[in-house]
Structure 1
């Protein structure tokens, strides 16, 4: 089950998380997090259909 700031729609926390990952010099982790965001968007769209 999807939980956390993505599931809650907490955009401010999601942005801070991405900024922290980008600032940590770990672009691969930020890319994974963005992939989670994309997957959550797809799941939400499918659930709404």
Structure 2
């Protein structure tokens, strides 16, 4: 499989994999989970008011 080969080749050179993006994958096929993950960020920057 192309994904397995890519992982082996990246591992061989010491690359670290943090995530993947799959394009043109039929999610309706059997064997695929159907879920979505949403990340909501936040900012610690304080709001400055003009008084």
Q: TM-score, normalised by structure 2?
A: 0.37
Q: Which has the higher helix share?
A: 1
Higher relative contact order (CA closer than 8 Å, sequence separation 6+): 1
